[in-house]
Amino acid sequence: MKVLVEGHKYKLESFEGGEPQILQFIHKEPDEKNPGRFRTVSDGTTNEEVLRVLIDRMKRLQEKCACRENAIVITKLEESLMWLEKRTANRVARNVEGTPAK
């Protein structure tokens, strides 16, 4: 893995030496025209979406070759997704989603 833009864009090596893949997360910065809000610098995916991909992949691998470790990984990935979704729901309920408020 190579960091192209810290926290936002990564070059992922292919397992068997093929072309590298780019993983681009949404990139937001404080909006100078709208204080207290963010503006999108570049579009991309979210942590939640990447976790959903990993959960799906691990479930497919578990179907092919089940093991305790895969089951634990699936559980931990699902737990991680739950906490991120809980954080977002909390921010929406407090009307601070999309702002730097804590």
Per-residue pLDDT, 100: 80
Residue entry with tokens 């089940």: 66
Mean of per-residue pLDDT scores for the chain: 95
Amino acid 66: pLDDT: 97
Share of the chain above pLDDT 90, in %: 86
Domain residues for the domain of 66 are: 46-102
Q: Can you give the pLDDT at residue 98?
A: 82
Instruction: Please indicate, yes or no, whether residues 98 and 57 belong to a single structural domain of this protein.
Output: yes
54 in the same domain as 101: yes
Give dist(CA 86, CA 99) in Å, integer: 17
Q: Are residue 3 and residue 38 in the same domain, yes or no?
A: yes
Q: Torsion over CA of 62, 65, 69 and 74, rounded to 10 degrees?
A: -10
How many distinct structural domains can be found in the chain? 2
In this prediction, residue 102 has a pLDDT band, given cuts at 50, 70 and 90, of confident
| Chain segment 22-32, per-residue pLDDT in tens | 999 999 999 89
**Domain match, 22 and 63 both:** no
Q: Are 4 and 22 in contact (CB under 8 A)?
A: yes
Q: DSSP label at 96?
A: -
Q: What angle do CA 57, 88, 44 make, to 5 degrees?
A: 55
